[in-house]
Structure 1
Amino acid sequence: MAKKSTAIDVTQGVIWQQLLSLCVPIFFSSFFQQAYTLIGTYIVGQFGGKLALGGIQATMVLTELCIGFCVGVGAGCAVITGQFFGQHDDERLSRSVHTAMTLALVGGIVFSILGIVFVEPMLVLMNTPHELLAEGVAYARCYFAAMVAALLLNMGTALLRAVGDTRGPALIIASGCLVNVVLDIIFVAVLHMEALGCGIAVALTICSNATMIVLRMMRAPGAWRLSLSRLGIDRGICKSMISCGLPLGFQSAAYSISNVLIQVSVNSFGADVTTAWGLSGRLDGIIWMVTEALGVSITTFSAQNFGARNYERMRKGYHT
């Protein structure tokens, strides 16, 4: 018996219903990501102490800078993949998936090494309060150690969404929320490892989510199935992905760079202000959940219909 496809072909059917079927799972995915971030922050604040909480908040802008850039590039890769899906070009769809995941793997290794080596000098350069430095470095190095998994997670999620599979990533991220809360309780509340414990919990959660995303792709019932033996870079597709993804990556990074510059000024006011500023940054992420869900859903819709040359349907999707 053939396995039922989890993809959604949005090149035909009722537009508003398809946009809704794409948007709702993405919204809940963002909701759970914000939920476990806030719960983790609460646990660290209650059991890890002010310095641990402040150290984590001080590093937030650096991790977001790297992730934001990579998410933007991943969105560009997903656009190209979505076009091939809309064209029903199975061969190039398969090559695009393997090219994108190879780029994520290589990029993750590079970002991991650079992050682990340079995070401490960067925090010093940013005038991070001395009492927060040790906790911040411990947390950030754990996070950057998992950057390979983070990029595979974000790229795999973007590729699955490109073919309309938004429910799978949402369920995986929701399960990751529970995993992260349990690990935070173990490492921070029970073992009292403070920021280091929170960093280990986040890294293990990212690795767990990335593993589930990769396994889902390896079991996909279509041309977007991931095969480890086929990992490699198709030069033509890679060129298209980079030309589409780099502008999106720099666009995402620009916002984070401005936050880095603001963080430098905030740090000059001391540990308490740095901690408070970081906490406010956690809360404003809630505001972006709806816009992110709408943006990703219309991007998937447009990419598939552009590939299928349904230009009029694509324009109707914008107005819907």
Structure 2
Amino acid sequence: MYTDLTKGNIGKSLLLFALPMMAGNLLQQFYNIADTLIVGRVLGSEALAAVGSAYTLMTFLTSIFLGLSMGSGALFSIYQGKGEKEGLRVTVLHAGVLILGVTLLLNVAVYLGIDGILVFLKVPEEVYAGMREYLLVIFAGILATSLYNFFSCMLRALGNSTVPLIFLAVSAGLNIALDLLFVMVFSLGIAGAALATVLAQYVSGIGITLYAWKCSREFLPGKAELHYDRGILKEIANLSTLTCLQQSVMNFGILMVQGLVNSFGSVIMAAFAAAVKIDTFAYLPVQDFGNAYSTFVAQNYGAGEKERIRKGTRQAFAISGVFSLIISALVYAGAPYLMRIFIRKSETEVLAAGVQYLRIEGACYIGIGFLFLLYGYYRAIKQAEMSLVLTVISLGLRVLLAYVLSAWVGVIGIWVAIPIGWALADLTGLVYMKKSKKLRKE
């Protein structure tokens, strides 16, 4: 069940390892898509705007411990590639304690600062109460999400991408069933949608934790590893903190854009909420392919297989590019039909704004596809600072252009700013990769 990515056909191994990750993250999106679909259809556009804006906030918060888990996962893969089992177990211990501590502190902080967060996001008065109600419930799932992300990153880093998919499949189905029950049968409103998501998150979080404890004990610390190792903690801190910062900067930039979107009122908020779900769903496969590629690079980096990394990189960019172009064509052509999944046909203004967003950004998915590969590459070779640089370029430019262009041409300026940021970050990352001596032939 654990795949050794240092051997065998590269393209085939990458695709087979990535497929469960793609399917798993597509299922994970059902958490919020189920809320969006049911809330939008049953409770209307204002409730949809509240859930959509809350989703952007939760993505930002989740990115903090997700970044820590991804950074730790790169180290797990490197130790696995080296064959150092004891070092791997000590690293898992230190990473787990660090991430749990950060998660608990974050959970307390968001509950204490909920009203300040809503003011910062410029949430309109007609949406404020609904979004606050939703957040009070959804924040309770932060610990569950952290548990799931840590253990799924650990298992994937060691070559097991199937088990995380299984737990997500169960919890996604449960989330949809509970959404229908709480919102449509029990009429619990927006809080019911949030409660359904939280319960489903705990199923996946606790489930994967128990699986790791029962079935992957050889990778978990025993009595011999229960000690403080300053060197390993420093290594985790260096890579994980930079990866966390990269993820946080990326999602903070998105949060800044969400605040700008909110200033255009509930119609644009609702359109953005629905379109972002479609958008995220569409490019998730290339995001997960980038994460699979990162595991491939890290394992081979640990094993010293530089030529295999160079060959795999060429194949990974070709696969991601082809897939991105296909998805772009499908989203561009199907934008009106995709929007009508979430939005009532009578809400023409919301539909029109959402279609405009999808056709501008959806045509450029190759930019984000390449960027995910670059993030994974630099994280895997212990140059996470470069991933951070690319994020600052991509999101910094996106936020700056969004504010400048929206003041000039309206909301379309926000949509146009996104692919411009991707393109500049890609150019920077590819040029640096070409000139870097890290994996140059001896």
The two structures have a TM-score, normalised by structure 2, of 0.67
Contact 1:150 / 1:206 at 8 angstroms: preserved in 2? Answer: yes
SS at match of 2:280: helix
Residues 1-320 of structure 1: pairs in structure 2 closer than 5 A: 6-221=1-216, 223-225=218-220, 234-320=229-315
1:92 Cα offset (Å): 1.0
**Higher mean C-alpha deviation, range 273-282 or range 198-207:** 273-282
Q: Residues of 1 paired with 2:228 and 2:111: CA distance?
A: 26
Contact 2:89 / 2:225 at 8 angstroms: preserved in 1? Answer: no
1:167 Cα offset (Å): 0.6
SS at match of 1:146: helix
Contact 1:48 / 1:189 at 8 angstroms: preserved in 2? Answer: no
Structure with max Cα Rg: 2
Q: Residues of 2 paired with 1:211 and 1:230: CA distance?
A: 23
Q: Residues of 2 paired with 1:112 and 1:317: CA distance?
A: 39
Q: CA RMSD in A?
A: 2.1
* 1:29 aligned partner, one-letter code: G
Alpha-carbon deviations, 1:232-266, whole Å to 9, x = none?
Answer: 76432222122112222222222322222222222
Aligned length: 315
Alpha-carbon deviations, 1:128-182, whole Å to 9, x = none?
Answer: 0112112111212222222111111111111110001001101111111101001
* 1:65 aligned partner, one-letter code: F
In structure 2, relative to structure 1, the CA distance for the partners of 1:232 and 1:217 (3 Å cut) is farther
More contact order relative to length (CA 8 Å, sep ≥ 6): 1
Q: Residues of 2 paired with 1:104 and 1:170: CA distance?
A: 22
Q: Residues of 1 paired with 2:21 and 2:88: CA distance?
A: 22
**Higher mean C-alpha deviation, range 10-19 or range 71-80:** 10-19
* 1:319 aligned partner, one-letter code: R
**Higher mean C-alpha deviation, range 112-121 or range 41-50:** 41-50
Contact 1:220 / 1:226 at 8 angstroms: preserved in 2? Answer: no
Q: Residues of 2 paired with 1:228 and 1:132: CA distance?
A: 52
**Higher mean C-alpha deviation, range 263-272 or range 155-164:** 263-272
Alpha-carbon deviations, 1:105-135, whole Å to 9, x = none?
Answer: 1111011111111122111222201121121
SS at match of 1:12: coil
1:297 Cα offset (Å): 0.9
Contact 2:48 / 2:273 at 8 angstroms: preserved in 1? Answer: no
Contact 1:53 / 1:195 at 8 angstroms: preserved in 2? Answer: no
Q: Unaligned stretches of 5+ in structure 2?
A: 316-442
1:221 Cα offset (Å): 4.3
Q: Residues of 2 paired with 1:184 and 1:237: CA distance?
A: 43
Q: Residues of 2 paired with 1:214 and 1:270: CA distance?
A: 42
Contact 1:32 / 1:177 at 8 angstroms: preserved in 2? Answer: yes
In structure 2, relative to structure 1, the CA distance for the partners of 1:194 and 1:304 (3 Å cut) is same
1:231 Cα offset (Å): 7.1
In structure 2, relative to structure 1, the CA distance for the partners of 1:233 and 1:273 (3 Å cut) is farther
In structure 2, relative to structure 1, the CA distance for the partners of 1:204 and 1:227 (3 Å cut) is farther
Q: Residues of 1 paired with 2:17 and 2:140: CA distance?
A: 32
SS at match of 2:264: coil
In structure 2, relative to structure 1, the CA distance for the partners of 1:233 and 1:318 (3 Å cut) is farther
Alpha-carbon deviations, 1:285-320, whole Å to 9, x = none?
Answer: 023212212111111111111112222222222122
Q: In the alignment, which residue of structure 2 is the partner of 1:3? A: none
1:227 Cα offset (Å): 6.5
Q: Unaligned stretches of 5+ in structure 1?
A: 1-5
Identity of aligned residues (%): 26
Contact 2:53 / 2:269 at 8 angstroms: preserved in 1? Answer: yes
In structure 2, relative to structure 1, the CA distance for the partners of 1:175 and 1:232 (3 Å cut) is farther
1:226 Cα offset (Å): 6.3
Q: Residues of 2 paired with 1:23 and 1:169: CA distance?
A: 12
In structure 2, relative to structure 1, the CA distance for the partners of 1:256 and 1:88 (3 Å cut) is same
In structure 2, relative to structure 1, the CA distance for the partners of 1:192 and 1:276 (3 Å cut) is same
